[in-house]
Amino acid sequence: MLPRAEKFPRAFRFTVTQRLIDAALDLQEALSEAQSQRAAPRLNALRAADAALNHLRIYLRLAHDWRWLSAGQYEHVSTIVAEIGRLLGGWLKQSAR
């Protein structure tokens, strides 16, 4: 996804594109942090990952709406994001017990 984001319009490279990249990296960092934590710190990291995932979904939807991503590209990335969401939801549910 990141190499594709580099091809988004230059006028939006330091706004929407940067936020999309930041959301993806925030998600990755929060998941890595959650993996190394236990109890309340893990739950906090998982919640941060969930928020980053929601932001990522918004920016991907905008990129598709503005035709920066083709229908096939959007479908592919949406499938991956949905799977991450299902896994994250299960992890959150298990950690909240």
The verdict on residue 51 lying in a domain is yes
What integer is the mean pLDDT of 7-35? 93
What integer is the mean pLDDT of 33-50? 94
The verdict on residue 66 lying in a domain is yes
Range of the domain at 51: 40-97
The verdict on residue 44 lying in a domain is yes
Q: How many domains does the chain have?
A: 1
Overall pTM surpassing 0.85 (yes/no) = yes
What integer is the mean pLDDT of 46-50? 97
The verdict on residue 90 lying in a domain is yes
What integer is the mean pLDDT of 30-50? 95
Asked if pLDDT for residue 3 goes beyond 80, the answer is: yes
pLDDT of residue 14: 85
With b for 16 or more beta-carbon neighbours within 10 A and e for fewer, the 15-51 pattern comes to ebbebbbebbebbeebbebbeeeeeeebbebbbbbbe
Question: Is there a contact between 77 and 25 (Cβ–Cβ < 8 Å)?
Answer: no
The verdict on residue 27 lying in a domain is no
pLDDT of residue 96: 83
| pLDDT band at residue 5 under the 50/70/90 scheme | confident
